[in-house]
Structure 1
Amino acid sequence: MDGVTGGTVLALAGVLLGTSGTLVGQYLATRVERQRDRGQRAALQRAERKTAIVDFLTAAQRVELILDRREIGLLVTEDPADEKLHDLWLAKKTLELTCSHETAQAAQDYTQALHIRMRGAVPPQGEPTKREYRHSFMEAARKALGSSGPGIVR
């Protein structure tokens, strides 16, 4: 190789190295951006599920308060039961849209149990209690929010 050819080869090698470095850098930056985006989407989805679960539990707690007050013979507040049941069923439907089938089914079972009791009907013999339905829902909700470990003993 003479000086001109050697210089040309070295210049081409420099261009190839520079181009390779740029492409690798862009690939790594894009990969990091995709990972960050996936993380943000997962966090938003978890927040949406959490909001739906909290809204459902708020509505369920209102219905349970009325049932508990009736059970011990206390006066029920002036809030109509139908409105509370409406809020509960609406919150349950939100869960169906945002959570897994397991969580939505547990919410359905719990809501149905509360509805039956709110209407004054006697649940069928051997049917789980409202607390057992709540426990099943809470465990499904914990899984939906990514909580790991053994279930909570109630």
Structure 2
Amino acid sequence: MAQQSSTRLYVMDGVTGSTVLALIGVLLGTAGTLVGQYLATHVEVQRDRRQRTDTERAERKEAILAFLAAAQRVELILDRQELGLPTTEDPADEKLHDLWLAKKAVELTCAHETAQAAHDYTRALHTRMRNTAASEQSPAKREYRYAFMEVARNALESGRPTIRR
């Protein structure tokens, strides 16, 4: 009888051992799945964050380039006036309107510092366009353009050094 009970214990130990091993396998599998899901989610969140950052940067860049194009058209009219050349056939009022509209796009998509620099540059160009004589007290349009360009470069996170003048 003693021998029979030890065999039963051995069989139960074998069943218990395989059950424990199976449970350990299930636990390891579950832990592996959870870790895998966490890592996949973490990577997806980073990818989404990067995509949003890239999209926002592209919007800022588009607004800045549109503003610069409008400012360049106004500067062309001013330069032609200063040189005594005939102005283009496009009315100056339309160019000023386009400039103010482009400035508003910068205000909507860029940080305060960039929006303020765009506003200052627009105001200087507007003043110069309306008053044919440049005021000696106000900084030149080139100063405002330079200030805007540096702020815009920072807004686009170019990482490049400032432009020497």
TM bucket (normalised to shorter chain) is over 0.9
Q: How high is the TM-score relative to the length of structure 1?
A: 0.96
Q: What residue number does 1:82 align with?
A: 93
- Deviation sequence 1:33-83 (CA, Å, 0-9, x none): 011111111110010000000000000000000000000100001110000
From 44, 53, 56, the counterpart of 1:45: 56
Pair 1:54-2:65 in alignment: yes
Q: Secondary structure at the match of 1:2?
A: helix
**1:125 Cα deviation from its structure 2 partner:** 3.4
Q: Structure 1 stretch 2-11 or stretch 141-150: which is displaced more?
A: 141-150
* Aligned-partner residue type, residue 142 of structure 2: R
Equivalent residue, structure 2, for 1:115: 126
1:75 aligns to what SS in structure 2? coil
2:74 equivalent in structure 1: 63
Identical-pair percentage: 73
For the residue of structure 2 that corresponds to 1:25, the secondary structure is helix
2:31 corresponds in structure 1 to 20
Tell me the amino acid that sits aligned with residue 87 of structure 1: D
The answer for the alignment partner of 2:43 in structure 1 is: 32
Report the secondary structure of 1:125's partner residue. Answer: coil
CA distance in 2, matches of 1:69, 1:34: 52
- Correspondence for 1:97 among 98, 108, 111: 108
Match of 1:36, SS state, is helix
State the shift of 1:147 in Å. Answer: 1.3
Partner of 2:145: 134
> CA offsets, 1:61-113, max 9 Å, x none?
00000000000100001110000000000000000000010000000000000
Q: TM-score, normalised by structure 2?
A: 0.90
Counting matched residue pairs gives 154
Unaligned runs of 5+ in 1: none
Q: For the residues of structure 2 that align with 1:149 and 1:80, how far apart are their CA atoms?
A: 37
Partner of 2:9: none
Find the structure with the greater CA-based Rg: 2
- In terms of mean alpha carbon deviation, does 55-64 or 116-125 score higher? 116-125
Quote the offset at 1:123 in angstroms. Answer: 4.8
- The DSSP-based 3-state class of the residue aligned with 1:35 is helix
Mapped to 2, the partners of 1:106 and 1:121 lie a distance apart of 23
